[in-house]
């Protein structure tokens, strides 16, 4: 776990910012296994310590070796123990107050603000500390020292249903699986496909942040939001066409306007593509994604139609990465706007994290800028309805 933290987490390619404090909390209920090849703990923790990471070690139960905790921690003051999991809360408060001394006394939550990079490393069964509480879960497992819900798998049969969150799923089983993956209560609203809100001919692109800061559950929520957008649009050869770009350090064109054609151009096929979107991790180069949209999406050779309204929804959970070479977002979005593409900028997160000025540079108009407080709020069906209405009301804009 310590080696993985050094090589895969506390690195700039995974989104670590060198100009903010780095914190790692290592939790264990036992001792280092020595029956196989292993690295002594003082050596294993040296990599992250040398990077300036403040390392805390928390031992739970009577089987903990405090000398090993001292090898892990940055200092003896960063070593904590608890008799059992029931006493964990009071110990966590001590760590919180030491890490973030301005936090309110008595707080039982982690008040780590965005100025910190905090990693919790479980060297014990993480499922005992953070059990899965997602709807319809069938258990919990530990992946990369973190607890992860085990969600039901579904047979590859199609019996479309419209879920309570306005998403067309392939079956009731799949709705339950999505409720588990997104940790959101979802049920079946009707045992038939969702009904389109309007019949509209338009070319719609989704340009989607897939950077490391989003996290696995929020990535599933992002995909669910996209499906919520698509499921109540009239997708078809003569009506709405959809394209998708995901981006982090680099953009990836996943779906062009002419990828699906004929009978394959429908809600179910587009949702299948969205289900398969890969979480890229990495940084947040919005400008590269906008360039790709102009060159590889909104062009007639990729299926763009000159006689229908064109709209691009740009979704991000943060700010443009400004290390290395980059294009200011106003300039990057200009070719799209000049082609008559209506830009809609959606920032997901607190206003001190999402840069509203950058969103305005993308959209070009205040009334096409949206800031949504969290990915949980993004799951509200009313949010997607607002954006679908933008599509239904879209008008053809002439390019310059």
pTM: predicted TM-score of the whole model, two decimal places? 0.72
CA separation for the pair 78, 56 (Å, rounded): 5
182-198 residue pLDDT tens: 999 999 999 999 999 99
Radius of gyration of the chain (CA): 24
pLDDT value, residue 296? 97
| DSSP 8-state assignment for residue 25 | E
32-79 residue pLDDT tens: 766 666 788 888 888 888 888 899 888 888 778 888 888 999 998 888
CA separation for the pair 18, 12 (Å, rounded): 7
pLDDT value, residue 107? 45
pLDDT at 223 over 90: yes
Cα torsion angle, 296, 300, 303, 306, sign: positive
Band of pLDDT at residue 121, cut at 50, 70 and 90: low
Query: Which domains are delineated in the chain?
Result: 1-99 (3.40.50.410), 126-190 (3.30.60.30), 202-393 (3.40.50.410)
Taking phi first (over 0 means left), then psi (-120 to 50 degrees means alpha), and beta for anything else, what does residue 53 get? beta
pLDDT at 289 over 60: yes
Greater confidence (297 vs 50) lies with: 297
DSSP string, 108-146: -S----TT-EEEEEESS-HHHHS----TT---EEEETTE
CA separation for the pair 275, 154 (Å, rounded): 13
pLDDT at 268 over 90: yes
Cα torsion angle, 230, 234, 236, 242, sign: negative
User: 110 and 96 in contact (C-beta within 8 Å)?
Assistant: yes
pLDDT at 250 over 90: yes
pLDDT value, residue 104? 43
């Amino acid at each position: 776990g310590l080696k993985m933290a050094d090589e895969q987490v506390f690195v700039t390619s995974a989104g670590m910012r060198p100009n903010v404090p780095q914190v790692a909390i290592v939790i264990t209920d036992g001792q280092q296994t020595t029956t196989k090849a292993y690295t002594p703990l003082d050596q294993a923790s040296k990599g992250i310590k040398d990077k300036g990471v403040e390392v805390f070690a928390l031992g739970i139960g009577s089987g903990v070796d405090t000398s090993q905790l001292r090898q892990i921690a940055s200092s003896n003051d960063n070593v904590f123990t608890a008799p059992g999991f029931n006493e964990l809360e009071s110990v966590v408060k001590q760590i919180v107050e030491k890490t973030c001394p301005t936090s309110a006394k008595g707080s039982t939550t982690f008040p780590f603000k965005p100025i910190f990079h905090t990693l919790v490393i479980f060297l014990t069964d993480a499922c005992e500390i953070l059990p899965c509480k997602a709807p319809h879960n069938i258990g919990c497992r530990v992946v990369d020292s973190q607890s992860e819900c085990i969600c039901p798998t579904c047979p590859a049969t199609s019996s479309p249903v419209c879920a309570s969150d306005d998403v067309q799923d392939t079956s009731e089983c799949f709705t339950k699986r999505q409720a588990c993956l997104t940790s959101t209560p979802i049920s079946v609203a009707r045992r038939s496909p969702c009904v389109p809100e309007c019949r509209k001919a338009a070319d719609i692109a989704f340009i989607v942040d897939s950077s490391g800061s989003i996290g696995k559950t929020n990535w599933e929520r992002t995909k669910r939001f996209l499906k919520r957008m698509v499921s109540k649009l009239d997708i078809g050869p003569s009506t709405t066409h959809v394209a998708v770009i995901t981006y982090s350090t680099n953009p990836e064109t996943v779906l062009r306007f002419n990828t699906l054609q004929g009978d394959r151009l429908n809600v179910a096929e587009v949702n299948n593509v969205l289900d398969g979107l890969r979480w890229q991790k990495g940084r947040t180069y919005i400008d590269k994604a906008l360039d790709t949209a102009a060159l590889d999406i909104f062009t007639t050779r990729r299926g763009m139609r000159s006689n229908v309204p064109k709209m691009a929804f740009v979704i991000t959970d943060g700010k443009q990465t400004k290390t290395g070479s980059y294009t200011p977002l106003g300039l990057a979005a200009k070719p799209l706007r000049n082609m008559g593409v209506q830009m809609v900028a959606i920032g997901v997160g607190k206003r001190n994290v999402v840069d509203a000025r950058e969103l305005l540079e993308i959209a070009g108009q205040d009334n096409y800028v949206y800031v949504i407080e969290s990915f949980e709020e993004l799951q509200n069906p009313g949010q997607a309805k607002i954006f679908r209405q933008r599509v239904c009301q879209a008008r053809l804009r002439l390019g310059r």
